Amino acid sequence: MVIDGPSSSSIMAAIQATSNSTSSTTSSSNHHRQHRIGTSSVSEFYEGKTVFITGGTGFMGKVLLEKLLRSCPGVSKIYLLIRPMKGQDAHERLQQLLSSPLFDPLRKERPQDLRKVLPIEGDITQPELAITASDRAMLERSVNVVFHSAATVKFDEKLKLSVTINLLGTRRLVELCKRMDHLEALIHVSTAYCNCDRTEVTEVVYSPPMDPERVTTLVDCLDEPLVDQLTPSLVGNRPNTYTFTKALTECWLREHCEGLPLVIVRPSIVLSSAGGPMKGWVDNWNGPTGIIAAAGKGLFRSMVCDPNKTADLVPVDMVINLMIVSAWRVGTTKPKELQIYNCVTGQRKPITWQQFIDLCFKYMRKHPFSDVFWYPNGSVSSNRTLNTFNWIFLHWIPAHIIDSFVWLTGGRPM
């Protein structure tokens, strides 16, 4: 993993110390005391601290929560912003989250630590985050560290909703952070691809594709159908609304967060975990995960992609370690400048998409999935005509043959 940013060497040393936490959660506190960077270890920085997390019910949020509880046992409280959904209130969704197998080691060895996690009912898309006045006052009095990972990561998300969540949601959170009495670190999760229109991306905020305030005004004033029509011209040479709104958000943060202990973390393509407590853990179909699953089932056999391009993939636990350590660093060194870290692998440990696909198929055959429809195989090509040809003969025709067989045997075609 390559970390670009100020004082990268000290950050990498601290991440290594954090990554080396013992598999036994009961001994993690003593272990971390042995790894000091400067005058304070990472785990000691979090002792007695109160943490507030947005996006805590998402993939990265769950890993962040588990890592904080496991490796920073001295943390006082962790508040999660949770939106009521599908008939469940914030408390019910929190209990469902904590029942994940990811938390089994903690539940077995330090179950009392799970009581440190408390829900804050709210919604990133609503004014004041839809947090009650009493909860806001409590957060303003007590929170020391904020991790902002709430976002819509759908590439095909409508621009109006993407702006509402990614840009306006961040603005609402910053307004809350500015009222916090004891804030020591604010970590904003961006993406390494927010400046994908450039051939080189360093640890700076680049000029915005458009004025964030102007985009906000347009989205607020215009109906969604009209915004949809304008989206291609607004997004410009960026491939989707996700990277567009993430770039706008970074620019807005640079202009409006002076005096805040802000860090921007830019991961590339986030994959399942490489380390403990559960190697390979993932709980969503985002990014390559869904493609891998479909390919392993034999359902996905052709894709438009340049096989020689770098697949910049980074395990989720490495991103989380950087987030935790970057909060420690900004909280202990108190830099005056905005801190930015690119969390990528393509420079130091490059792998092409073809190499990645070959490795996937190798292990799919060695450890086959259940209920496989077809032998795991396939190809990628930047040639769209060839991909169309492959799609017809490897997807469309086999699918209709199977559906016909299912129909003839009295089943329900897919």
- DSSP for 239-268 reads SSHHHHHHHHHHHHHHHH-TTS-EEEEEE-
Higher pLDDT: 123 or 400? It is 123
Question: 410 in the Ramachandran plot: left (φ > 0), alpha (ψ -120 to 50) or beta?
Answer: left
Strand partners, 266: 342
pLDDT confidence of residue 73: 94
Q: Please answer whether residues 74 and 360 qualify as being in contact, where contact means their C-beta atoms are separated by less than 8 angstroms.
A: no
What is the mean pLDDT of the segment spanning 54-69? 97
What tens digit of pLDDT does each residue of 350-391 get?
A: 999 999 999 999 999 899 988 888 888 888 889 999 999 988
Task: Give SS3 for 117.
Answer: strand
Question: 369 in the Ramachandran plot: left (φ > 0), alpha (ψ -120 to 50) or beta?
Answer: beta
Give all domains of the chain, ordered by start, each with its CATH number. 2-268+312-348 (3.40.50.720), 276-311+352-414 (no CATH)
Q: Please answer whether residues 169 and 124 qualify as being in contact, where contact means their C-beta atoms are separated by less than 8 angstroms.
A: yes
What tokens were used for 203?
A: 């640890």
Confidence of residue 164 (pLDDT cuts 50, 70, 90): very high
Higher pLDDT: 55 or 293? It is 55
- DSSP for 353-384 reads HHHHHHHHHHHHHHSPPSS-SS-S--EEES-H
Dist CA 343 CA 21 (whole Å): 20
Beta strands in 144-294, from DSSP E residues, in sequence order: 145-148, 185-189, 262-267, 269-271
What is the mean pLDDT of the segment spanning 160-166? 97
Confidence check: pLDDT of 38 > 50:
no
Which of 323, 186, 174, 198 is CA-nearest to residue 256?
174
Whose tokens are 């169309």? That residue is 388
What tokens were used for 391?
A: 């799609």
Q: What are the C-alpha distances in Å from 411 to residues 37, 170, 210, 403, 404?
A: 63, 49, 53, 9, 9
Dist CA 263 CA 146 (whole Å): 10
Q: Please answer whether residues 251 and 212 qualify as being in contact, where contact means their C-beta atoms are separated by less than 8 angstroms.
A: yes
Which of 243, 244, 247 is CA-nearest to residue 264?
247
Strand partners, 2: 344
What is the mean pLDDT of the segment spanning 342-349? 90
Going by their DSSP bridges, the two strands 262-267 and 302-304 should be labelled as unpaired
Dist CA 286 CA 270 (whole Å): 9
Confidence check: pLDDT of 347 > 90:
no
What is the mean pLDDT of the segment spanning 53-77? 97
Dist CA 320 CA 102 (whole Å): 14
Confidence check: pLDDT of 5 > 80:
no
What is the mean pLDDT of the segment spanning 181-185? 98
Dist CA 191 CA 264 (whole Å): 9
What tokens were used for 274?
A: 């490489």
pLDDT confidence of residue 15: 63
Secondary-structure breakdown of the chain: helix, strand, coil percentages, each rounded to the nearest 5: 50, 15, 40
Alpha helices in 28-162 (DSSP H): 28-33, 42-45, 59-71, 90-98, 104-109, 133-142, 159-162
What tens digit of pLDDT does each residue of 75-97 get?
A: 999 999 999 998 999 999 999 99
Strand arrangement of the beta sheet that strand 185-189 belongs to:
2-4, 339-344, 262-267, 185-189, 145-148, 50-54, 77-82, 117-121
Dist CA 264 CA 203 (whole Å): 9
pLDDT confidence of residue 22: 40
Strand partners, 297: none
- Residue 68's identity, in one-letter code, is L
* Range in 233-247, 263-277, 286-300 with the lowest mean pLDDT: 286-300
pLDDT confidence of residue 18: 63
Dist CA 132 CA 128 (whole Å): 9
